[in-house]
A and B are shown apart, each in its own frame.
Chain A
Amino acid sequence: MASPDRVSFRLNGQPVEPSCPPERILLDLLREELRLTGTKRGCDLGTCGCCTVLVDGRPTLSCLTLARLVDGRSVDTIEGLSPAQGLSPVQRSFVEHGATQCGFCTPGFVVTATALLRRNPHPSRAEIEGAIAGNLCRCTGYRKIVEAIEAAAGGR
């Protein structure tokens, strides 16, 4: 830990060292301090998955993670998974399949799906449903989200 009131980690590939009181939650650090608002606050209780980010490549609920715990680690948010121009294959597939409606849960799903496909490039439908089971969506009934992930896995 670089300094007692700071946390030092790689954020979307870049080293950062924001000030961070010990009780700060990662979601608050990202949204309020670092102004990365793509990560959404849906419940603050780890129930909805809207705040999912990757910590060392693993989907993690940022609302249940003390920010100090990512010291020395690597954090990727939806902003970091988005190319400078255009969309990632998962993002493109979500758009083409209508897997967004209100869009509030979407960053969490994209983050979760991206991690799944990195770990398992050709998941079965059951594996996809299992991977996204921690993300709630109230608009789509999940069908188009599952189809979008399947299509992204198929490279279409």
Chain B
Amino acid sequence: MASVSESPYRLLGRRIPYVEGPLKVTGRAEYTDDLQRPGMLVGRLLRSPWPHARLRSIDVTAARAVPGVHAVLTGDRYPTPFGVLPITHDETAIAVGKARYIGDIVAAVAASDERTAERALSLVRFDVEPLPEHSDPRMGVSKVDEPIHARGLAGSNVQKEVVQHFGDVDQAFARAAHSVRVRGTFAGVTHAFTEPMATVAEATPDGRLTVYSATQVPHYLHRALSEVLGLPMHRIRVIKPEVGGGFGGKSDPLPHEIVCAALAIETGRPVKILFDREDVFYTNHGRHPTQNDVRIATDADGNLLAYDIEALIDGGAWSSFGTVTTYYNGVLSMGPYRVPNFRYRGRRVYTNRPPSGAMRAHGGTNIRYTIEVALDRLAEEIGTDPFDLRVRNALPPDSTTINQFRITSSSFLECLSAVRTASGWDEKFRKLPYGRGVGLGCGFYISGSNSPIHFTPKMPQSTVHLKVDMDGGIAVHSMQADIGQGSNTLLAAIVAEVLGVDLDRVHVQRVDSDVSPIDLGSYSSRVTFMMGNAARRAAEELKERLLAAAAELLGRPAASLKVGHERFELSEDPSVGVPFLEALHRAMETTGALTSSGSYQTDPRGGAFKGAKAGTAPAYSFAAYVAEVEVDHETGEYRVEKVWAGFDCGRPLNRLAVEGQIEGSIHMGLGQVLGESMNYRGARLFNPSLLEYKIPTPQQMPEVEILLVGRDDPAGPFGAKEAGEGPLIATLPAVGNALYDAIGVRFTELPITPDRVLRGIDRRHAEGRGWKGR
């Protein structure tokens, strides 16, 4: 395996500016809300003001009578349940029978303008029976009066329970020399992408439905529309315009998308639904509020013996990705370490709150914070350096975990050693003045899933089509969804790399289900790995045909030729060759435009036990971060001065994009530490705006030093693994552990707000500790 510091490629491995950058900096990139259709109506949603209520009857007579109103919909019109996971279809486009949280959609209207729509919604009359409000997941684990969903486990609000036990945890604790117990408590956080959701739908007289939507997974939307509206998929066309960020929040098929399509069908007119920021907060699907009780045991030398974990996860009103969350919170707790005995019980509980779902580094973030803080404590108790403890327990490359994840490439040890040196750790740890500290946090993450949400596991997870005509432009079609991370750029670069052409020959087409072959979209950090492999195969196929044509023109065997820059040339004498266009035109003489197709499918992975596939991936990224903080002990405010980010994404294919993903991940991870929190009183969310839900500002961003130390992954395209989610995880514990080094206070509840810092300092003083003695 080659080191990735030098790129052997012409384009890949370098800094490749985003191909759509010029459109974005000029305001010319087209997002869903920028679309206009002739005669388009305004779609508006009425949201439940009740946390939990039976909808006895709904009277829409007065609303329908308002001039300018074209349709009013309630839940009974399209009651077919849906959901992102095929096994937990518990949502409906509009509430049927019950409203389950403040913000649940209870009626919808299409009208000529916004004011008319609002007026109509104000005239919808409800006869409701208030039901018991469930806002505390602890109360939902046993039988309750009026569970939120009938499918709750044994009359409770438990949506999913996962129980796993590998090895013998009790026996391991019995012989342990050291053990710690940490309860990690995490407020819910949300994606806070800048583009509110928007959908435009149009049903046309040819019996077809076209839906434009700000989605990360056009294919799942396509399927949900088909299921709920009862239309075959081939009569529905899903188009993804530019998407203004997602981070998981646009990965479920969402009810408003289906409502918008339904309104278009009902009215025969194009309809747009545009969210305001409150809609976005109530739609949520952010990171779950979670409580993780973790026990870890080691022997006298610090070798890990066992993890014992119990998790309680607040799911909100729907399942969403929650079954996956419940598994991930357990199975993603082990790597990047070797854990010989493991027990986990995780329960995700429905509450009458906005649904939680998948958010960047889904399922791997909260548990990782708890584990890494516990390891920091263990290192102190054992009297070893936190780095040495991690090195001792590092999961080696080409190994198998106790729950049968197959680990292939790993440069975790290189991540550790790179940040230890770069951060000056050995001169700083426990040696900085009071109020200043350094901390270590580590992580790993899946690079795509071996167990995707798909019709059948036999179908490829990604397919890429190429078409090149006599103009020499290469059109690339795929349902991969660029939501800002740069997948269009990478797709173009891979095709250009293989064919030896300049990037401007390659045109990645807008996602359009009529012409884009299926790729499962932007989630689970799958895109580079899977789309990249599919794109490479499609381009290789085209390359073979162009090489054959060039060989004919040169009168030499194809095997004696290689790809040059915009030409095909003799390997032994590159001065003899054929320009790209000449080879292309020769190849087209028999077939016309050249087309090719490449696809990617994962190998079967995982054990035979229940839930064995959860968390299995064709590769894993690894991270080790050091954060340095400065705490003001009088105000409780603190600043993260610098983060050293050691990351293994295999070979970085676009360094600009990889850096962007790491810097953006640190921003988002830091937000969850500094203060981001979905604040509830009971079931009521009381900060649904970006004024009260504060994401970090430019002044709060630390300096970031990125150390990419990966090696070529054997199965990744050109050796690459993911870099979109794994870089978030290590941020949080690095900061938490740095705060301990600075002021001697363990923070096990996120966010770590200044008042919590002050209370921690006070507690420390009350114990007779603190100040210089930490």
Contacts and interface: CB of A to CB of B under 8 A. Distances in A.
Is the A/B pair a real complex?
yes
Interface of A: 35-45, 47-48, 50, 77-79, 82, 87, 90-91, 94-98, 100-107, 110, 128-130, 132-133, 136-146
A77 B28 CA distance: 12
Contacts of A36: 27
B31 A82 contact: no
14 contacts: A38-B28, A40-B31, A47-B277, A79-B26, A79-B27, A100-B18, A102-B242, A106-B25, A110-B25, A138-B192, A138-B667, A138-B695, A140-B660, A141-B665
Contacts of B243: 102
A37 B663 contact: no
Contacts of B470: none
Contacts of A143: 663, 701, 704
Given A138-B191, A139-B484, A143-B663, A104 B245 contact: yes
Contact of B33 (A41, A79, A90, A144): A41
Contact of B242 (A98, A103, A132): A103
A79 B27 CA distance: 7
Given A100-B21, A104-B193, A132-B698, 15 more contacts: A38-B28, A42-B194, A47-B277, A77-B27, A87-B22, A97-B656, A100-B24, A102-B195, A103-B24, A128-B698, A130-B699, A138-B193, A139-B245, A139-B485, A139-B660
A103 to B, nearest CB: 3
Given A38-B26, A139-B484, A102 B245 contact: yes
Interface string B636-670: 00000000000000000000110110011111100
A111 to B, nearest CB: 9
B664 A141 contact: yes
Overall SS of chain B's interface: loop
Given A35-B36, A41-B196, A138-B668, A101 B486 contact: yes
B146 interface: no
B18 A43 contact: no
B667 A133 contact: no
Nearest to B668: A138
A141 B668 CA distance: 8
B25 A95 contact: yes
B689 interface: yes
B234 interface: no
B608 interface: no
A141 B277 contact: no
B299 interface: no
**Which are the 5 A-B pairs with shortest beta-carbon distances?**
A38-B27, A102-B484, A104-B244, A103-B24, A141-B667
B139 interface: no
B245 A146 contact: no
B29 interface: yes
Given A42-B196, A45-B691, A48-B690, A133 B697 contact: yes
A101 B245 contact: yes
Contact of B704 (A98, A104, A141): A141
B369 interface: no
A133 to B, nearest CB: 5
B129 interface: no
A41 B247 CA distance: 19
A36 B277 CA distance: 21
B21 A94 contact: yes
B26 A82 contact: yes
Nearest to B643: A141
Contacts of A37: 27, 30, 33-34
Given A50-B194, A146-B698, A78 B247 contact: no
A128 B697 CA distance: 12
B170 interface: no
Contact of A136 (B18, B20, B21, B194): B194
A44 B277 contact: yes
Contacts of B17: 95-96, 98
A144 B698 CA distance: 11
Nearest to B692: A47
Contact of B699 (A41, A50, A100, A129): A129
B31 A104 contact: yes
Given A35-B36, A38-B27, A91-B25, A101 B276 contact: no
Contacts of A130: 699
Nearest to A49: B194
Contacts of A138: 191-194, 245, 247, 664, 667-668, 695
Interface in B208-251: 242-247
B630 to A, nearest CB: 17
B698 A104 contact: no
B195 A139 contact: no
B663 A140 contact: yes
Contacts of B483: 102
Nearest to A142: B698
A1 B422 CA distance: 63
B22 A136 contact: no
Interface in B698-713: 698-699, 701, 704
Given A95-B21, A98-B660, A140-B660, A104 B195 contact: yes
Contacts of B274: 41
B15 interface: yes
Given A45-B277, A141-B664, A144-B659, A98 B18 contact: yes
The listed residue with most A CB atoms (<10 A of its CB), out of B17, B242, B244, B247, is: B244
A97 B484 CA distance: 15
Pick from A44, A78, A141, A146 the residue with the most CB of B within 10 Å: A141
A98 B659 contact: yes
A133 B704 contact: no
A82 B698 contact: no
Contacts of A95: 17-18, 21-22, 25
Contacts of B663: 140-144
Interface string B7-47: 00000000101101111111111110110100000000000
Nearest to B699: A129
Contacts of A141: 663-667, 701, 704
Contact of B277 (A40, A42, A82, A129): A42
Of A41, A45, A144, most buried by chain B (CB within 10 Å of CB) is: A41
A103 B17 CA distance: 13
A142 B689 contact: no
B46 to A, nearest CB: 19
Nearest to B655: A98
B690 A136 contact: yes
Contacts of B247: 138
A78 B27 contact: yes
Contacts of A128: 698
Nearest to B242: A103
Contacts of B25: 82, 87, 90-91, 94-95, 100, 103, 106-107, 110
Nearest to B192: A138
Contacts of B33: 37, 41
Contact of B484 (A48, A79, A103): A103
A138 B695 CA distance: 8
Contact of B485 (A101, A137, A142): A101
Nearest to A93: B25
A51 to B, nearest CB: 11
A13 B30 CA distance: 24
Interface-central residue, A42, A129, A133, by most chain B CB under 10 Å: A42
Given A141-B667, A142-B667, A98 B15 contact: yes
B525 to A, nearest CB: 15
Given A39-B27, A103-B484, A141-B701, A45 B656 contact: no
Nearest to A144: B660
A143 to B, nearest CB: 5
B22 A91 contact: yes
B431 to A, nearest CB: 28
A26 to B, nearest CB: 16
A5 B27 CA distance: 29
Nearest to A145: B698
A42 B195 contact: yes
B20 A103 contact: yes
A150 to B, nearest CB: 12
